[in-house]
């Protein structure tokens, strides 16, 4: 077996490990972050389980730490108190980005992790099966239920040789993205192997597994080897180590070879993570902003590398440089060794240990200006500036360019600093609050921003609906449900946040959707790529969207649609072309066809043309759609004597 198969088979509850078949796996650990966590815990609460049934569950606060109004502060209180009551560890705001802190303190080789954030695969760097999912799927895992997914194909990426000076782990994953695009990993787990692994440290591996999410892959994983042991030892967690890797004769569904010594500094140009160029080609482009941080590049080594490049240099007068260390551990260590002073002297602005600019929480770039970021996503407008020009690159490229004021190849910098793993990380878990010993005494605090979860009824036998919006390929969940300071504070309030659905593409969408009794969204290929935010399904559901017709779907978003009772239907390109915004369509036998067939038929009322669309639902997903969503389905299961109290 390969490593992915070993991790799956040791957690397999239902199904056979054949690509394309539905399987269920048991979940050892869960993580949530504040922007998806409030809903996840409201959903968990609705299941009536007193205490989580996982080995470990952690609730992080990292996305919205601005507290520009009471809403955000209320969310933090809710998250801390419900964590205390339900057996969950709580990582306080300021302690760091969920993925960075989880890697440092909790991730364990051989275990499974389900997180309500699409970059959960970051922990795959430690030899664990770490998957991103919607909040409701994570809530269900906390209730002790298995996680369902389609058995992925296993893609083996063989890394050979050694990175040359100036090239880093970020350039490796940008090369993978160049080859796979933002769709190429859909339905796959990427498993890394090869002699190139020997010199790749765990934080470097995490950069690679983190941004594997941008290929659409279910997750990415590295073996647990001597590098893993060294990292865990330096984190004072050597006891968590076990050796894990593929069998010598392991087979894979697909193979890709990457020679590390051929990798040169790369950059993702606006506005997609797969729009890859060489830094050399883009060199000379004037830059107004540089941001170093986000869960993909904010480790101790990443920030140290930037500090060493900036030491005795100055940030260019035209550039604003913002640095967000990934965790308090990183911040403490660069404070102690003086690197923070180097950054400050060079002219860097030091931000909190949080997602910050990556999710549009401040630092929106000026109009028309190039912003160079070490982040993982540059979807249009995500920075908060409409028509932004965000480029994604390594910390080395970012730091050198901040000095020069133009995009600069890091190999032009005279010295190429090499930062290895420190022998010992500074460990201080005082901002991680363990669950209460006396949960009865904990009162869950709910401010006025925390509104109950909306639910919908079961699927009608037939359905008349109108196409509320027609959109292109690669629509992201940032397009559907934007983030940023104003909107993110409404993540616990579905009626209020639903007013912003598609607001960047078509601000009248919510009004039209509400006016029509049943709405359809018409999408292109890879609909719903990017984030795991279930708000991109929940808020449209609240507005009356019943169906999404698209050429194809991104995995997490499709699951979220099903979880909230919105039917994802796949259509052929000709059908996409034939339908328009405002088309009125009728599905005469929708419930029966879902139950009995793999396709549904519908008619365009104006033209009288009839079409088919594939639903490809598994038997379990059929039940969920017919029930009107996962919560209704769980409720029904309870009636049929499931142990869940709901
Ligand atoms: C993102 O990077 O897009 C986010 C914000 O972390 C999301 C989660 C969210 O929308 O809350 C993700 O990646 O899943
Ligand atoms: Fe936070 Fe950005 Fe990472 Fe998402 S991608 S978890 S917003 S740092």
Q: Is any atom of ligand 1 closer than 6 Å to the C-beta of 99?
A: no
By residue count, the chain amounts to: 646
What residues pair up with 516 in beta bridges, in sequence order? none
Instruction: Give the model confidence (pLDDT) of 168-196 as tens digits.
Output: 999 999 999 999 999 999 999 999 999 99
Lowest mean pLDDT among 390-399, 453-462, 518-527: 453-462
pLDDT reading at 645 higher than 50? no
pLDDT reading at 641 higher than 50? no
The pLDDT value recorded for residue 396 is 98
Sorted by sequence, the CB contacts under 8 Å of residue 286 that are 6+ apart come out as 318, 370, 405, 406
The CA dihedral of 622, 626, 632, 638, to the nearest 10 degrees, is -70
CATH number at 499 reads 3.20.19.10
Distance (Å) from CA 97 to ligand 2 centroid: 8
The pLDDT value recorded for residue 418 is 87
* Residue 338 and residue 478 in one domain: no
Q: Which atom of ligand 1 lies at the shortest distance from residue 355's CA?
A: 6
Q: How far apart, in whole angstroms, are the C-alpha atoms of residue 170 and residue 279?
A: 12
591 belongs to a structural domain: yes
* Residue 288 and residue 256 in one domain: no
From 61, 100, 531, give the residue whose CB has the most ligand 1 atoms within 8 Å, as the site to mutate: 531
Q: Is any atom of ligand 2 closer than 6 Å to the C-beta of 294?
A: yes
The mean predicted confidence, pLDDT, of the chain is 96
Indicate the helix (H) or strand (E) that contains 627: helix 619-627
* Residue 134 and residue 15 in one domain: yes
With H, G, I as helix, E, B as strand and everything else as coil, classify residue 114: strand
User: Domain range holding 313?
Assistant: 282-412
Residue 421 pLDDT class (50, 70, 90 cuts): very high
Ligand closest to 354 (CA) is 2
Q: Is any atom of ligand 2 closer than 6 Å to the C-beta of 359?
A: yes
**310 close to 413: Cβ distance less than 8 angstroms:** no
Q: Label residues 15-41 b or e (16+ Cβ within 10 Å = b).
A: beeeeeebbbbbbbbbbbbbbbbbbbb
Scan for tokens 């502060």, then name that residue.
73
From 32, 37, 62, give the residue whose CB has the most ligand 2 atoms within 8 Å, as the site to mutate: 62
Q: Which atom of ligand 1 lies at the shortest distance from residue 119's CA?
A: 13
pLDDT reading at 455 higher than 90? no
Task: Give the pair of three-digit tokens for residue 179.
Answer: 């080859």
Indicate the helix (H) or strand (E) that contains 568: strand 567-570
Q: Which atom of ligand 2 lies at the shortest distance from residue 117's CA?
A: 6
Cα→Cα distances 117→30, 33, 34, 290, Å: 10, 7, 10, 25
The pLDDT value recorded for residue 638 is 64
DSSP strand E in 412-507: where? 432-433, 463-470
* Residue 214 and residue 289 in one domain: no
276 belongs to a structural domain: no
* Residue 511 and residue 381 in one domain: no
Q: Is any atom of ligand 1 closer than 6 Å to the C-beta of 36?
A: yes
Q: Is any atom of ligand 2 closer than 6 Å to the C-beta of 389?
A: no
457 belongs to a structural domain: no
* Residue 165 and residue 44 in one domain: yes
pLDDT reading at 642 higher than 80? no
Q: Is any atom of ligand 1 closer than 6 Å to the C-beta of 298?
A: no
Q: Which atom of ligand 1 lies at the shortest distance from residue 533's CA?
A: 10
- Report the nearest-CA residue for atom 10 of ligand 1: 533
Cα→Cα distances 225→163, 241, 296, 302, 314, Å: 19, 9, 21, 22, 40
Q: How far apart, in whole angstroms, are the C-alpha atoms of residue 480 and residue 492?
A: 17
Distance (Å) from CA 95 to ligand 2 centroid: 15
**30 close to 141: Cβ distance less than 8 angstroms:** yes
The pLDDT value recorded for residue 185 is 98
* Residue 229 and residue 321 in one domain: no
What residues pair up with 322 in beta bridges, in sequence order? 291, 349
Distance (Å) from CA 532 to ligand 1 centroid: 6
The pLDDT value recorded for residue 640 is 58
Task: Give the pair of three-digit tokens for residue 50.
Answer: 């007193």
378 belongs to a structural domain: yes
Phi, psi of 89 (to 5 degrees): -75, 145
- Report the nearest-CA residue for atom 1 of ligand 2: 355
Of the chain, the end-to-end C-alpha distance in Å amounts to 39
Distance (Å) from CA 100 to ligand 1 centroid: 14
Q: How far apart, in whole angstroms, are the C-alpha atoms of residue 627 and residue 421?
A: 51
Shortest CA distance to 449 belongs to which of 19, 71, 80?
A: 71
Phi, psi of 491 (to 5 degrees): -65, -20
From 63, 298, 357, give the residue whose CB has the most ligand 2 atoms within 8 Å, as the site to mutate: 63
* Residue 370 and residue 505 in one domain: no
**CA angle in degrees (0–180, nearest 5) for 546-547-548:** 140
366 belongs to a structural domain: yes
Instruction: Give the model confidence (pLDDT) of 209-232 as tens digits.
Output: 999 999 999 999 999 999 999 999
Distance (Å) from CA 511 to ligand 2 centroid: 30
Q: Is any atom of ligand 2 closer than 6 Å to the C-beta of 358?
A: yes
Q: Is any atom of ligand 2 closer than 6 Å to the C-beta of 533?
A: no
**631 close to 646: Cβ distance less than 8 angstroms:** yes
The pLDDT value recorded for residue 644 is 41
Distance (Å) from CA 473 to ligand 1 centroid: 20
Q: How many CA atoms lie within 13 A of 192 on its CB side?
A: 35
DSSP 39: H
Sorted by sequence, the CB contacts under 8 Å of residue 39 that are 6+ apart come out as 135, 136, 453, 491, 492, 534, 535, 538
| Structural domain count, the chain | 3
pLDDT reading at 289 higher than 60? yes
Scan for tokens 């009248």, then name that residue.
508
Separate counts of helices (H) and strands (E) for the chain: 23, 27
350 belongs to a structural domain: yes
CATH number at 338 reads 3.30.499.10
The pLDDT value recorded for residue 637 is 74
Distance (Å) from CA 208 to ligand 2 centroid: 14
The CA dihedral of 285, 287, 293, 297, to the nearest 10 degrees, is 10
* Residue 304 and residue 185 in one domain: no
From 33, 214, 357, 359, give the residue whose CB has the most ligand 1 atoms within 8 Å, as the site to mutate: 359
* Residue 405 and residue 306 in one domain: yes
The pLDDT value recorded for residue 456 is 84
Sign of the alpha-carbon torsion through 45, 47, 51, 57:
negative
Q: Label residues 47-75 b or e (16+ Cβ within 10 Å = b).
A: bebeebebebbbbbbbbbbbeeeebbbbb
Distance (Å) from CA 430 to ligand 2 centroid: 23
Q: How far is CA 394 from the centre of its chain?
A: 19
Distance (Å) from CA 99 to ligand 2 centroid: 8
* Residue 72 and residue 135 in one domain: yes
Distance (Å) from CA 182 to ligand 2 centroid: 17
631 belongs to a structural domain: yes
* Residue 401 and residue 286 in one domain: yes
492 belongs to a structural domain: yes
Q: Is any atom of ligand 2 closer than 6 Å to the C-beta of 119?
A: yes
Ligand closest to 487 (CA) is 1
Residue 646 pLDDT class (50, 70, 90 cuts): very low
Ligand closest to 529 (CA) is 1
- Report the nearest-CA residue for atom 12 of ligand 1: 531
Q: How far apart, in whole angstroms, are the C-alpha atoms of residue 264 and residue 279?
A: 8
The pLDDT value recorded for residue 416 is 82
């Amino acid at each position: 077996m390969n490593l992915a198969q070993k991790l799956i088979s040791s957690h397999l509850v239902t199904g056979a490990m054949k690509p394309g078949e539905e399987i269920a796996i048991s979940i050892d650990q869960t993580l949530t972050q504040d922007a998806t966590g409030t809903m996840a815990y409201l959903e968990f609460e609705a299941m009536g389980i007193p205490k989580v049934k996982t080995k470990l569950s952690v609730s992080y606060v990292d996305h919205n730490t601005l507290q520009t109004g009471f809403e955000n502060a209320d969310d933090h209180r809710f998250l801390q108190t419900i964590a205390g009551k339900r057996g969950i560890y709580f990582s306080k705001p300021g302690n760091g980005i969920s993925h960075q802190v989880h890697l440092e303190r909790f991730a364990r080789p051989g275990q499974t992790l389900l997180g309500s954030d699409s970059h959960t695969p970051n922990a795959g760097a430690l030899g664990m099966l770490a998957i991103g999912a919607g909040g409701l799927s994570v809530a269900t895992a906390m209730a002790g239920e298995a996680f369902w997914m389609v058995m992925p194909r296993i893609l083996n990426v063989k890394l050979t040789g050694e990175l040359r000076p100036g090239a880093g782990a970020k350039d490796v994953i940008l090369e993978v993205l160049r080859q796979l695009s933002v769709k190429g990993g859909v339905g796959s787990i990427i498993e890394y192997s090869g002699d190139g692994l020997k010199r790749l440290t765990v934080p470097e591996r995490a950069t690679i597994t983190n941004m594997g999410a941008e290929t659409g892959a279910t997750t990415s994983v590295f073996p647990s080897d001597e590098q893993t042991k060294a990292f865990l030892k330096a984190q004072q967690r050597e006891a968590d180590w076990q050796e894990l890797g593929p069998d010598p004769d392991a087979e894979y569904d697909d193979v890709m070879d990457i020679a590390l010594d051929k990798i040169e500094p790369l950059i993702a140009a606006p506005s997609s993570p797969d729009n890859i160029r060489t830094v050399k080609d883009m060199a000379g482009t004037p830059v107004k902003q540089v941001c170093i941080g986000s869960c993909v590049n904010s480790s101790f080594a990443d920030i140290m590398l930037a500090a060493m490049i900036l030491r005795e240099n100055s940030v260019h007068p035209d550039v604003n440089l913002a640095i967000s260390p990934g965790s308090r551990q990183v911040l403490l260590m660069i404070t102690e060794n003086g690197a923070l002073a180097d950054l400050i002297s060079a002219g860097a602005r030091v931000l909190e240990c949080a997602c910050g600019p990556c999710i549009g929480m401040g630092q929106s770039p000026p109009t028309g200006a190039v912003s160079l970021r070490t982040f993982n996503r540059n979807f249009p407008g995500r920075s908060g500036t409409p028509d932004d020009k965000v480029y994604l690159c390594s910390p080395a490229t970012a730091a050198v360019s901040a000095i020069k004021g133009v995009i600069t190849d890091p190999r032009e910098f005279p010295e190429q600093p090499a930062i290895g793993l420190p022998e010992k990380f500074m460990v201080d878990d005082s901002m991680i609050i363990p669950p209460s010993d006396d949960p009865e005494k904990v009162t869950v605090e709910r401010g006025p921003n925390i509104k109950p979860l909306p639910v919908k009824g079961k699927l009608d036998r037939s359905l008349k609906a109108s196409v509320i919006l027609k959109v292109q390929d690669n629509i992201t969940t940032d397009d559907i449900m934007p983030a940023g300071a104003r909107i993110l504070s409404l993540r616990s309030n579905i009626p209020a946040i639903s007013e912003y659905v598609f607001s960047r593409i078509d601000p009248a969408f919510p009004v039209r959707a509400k006016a029509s009794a049943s709405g359809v969204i018409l999408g292109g290929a890879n609909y719903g790529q990017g984030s795991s935010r279930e708000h991109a399904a929940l808020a449209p559901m609240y507005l009356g969207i019943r169906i999404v017709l698209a050429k194809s779907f991104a995995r997490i978003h499709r699951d979220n649609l099903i979880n909230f009772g919105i039917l994802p239907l796949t259509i052929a390109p000709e059908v996409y072309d034939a339908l328009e915004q405002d088309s009125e369509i009728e599905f005469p036998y929708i419930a029966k066809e879902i139950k009995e067939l793999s396709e549904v038929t519908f008619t365009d009322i104006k033209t009288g043309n009839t079409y088919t669309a594939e639903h490809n639902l598994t038997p379990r997903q059929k039940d969920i759609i017919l029930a009107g969503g996962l919560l209704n389905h769980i409720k029904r299961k309870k009636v049929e004597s499931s142990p869940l109290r709901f």
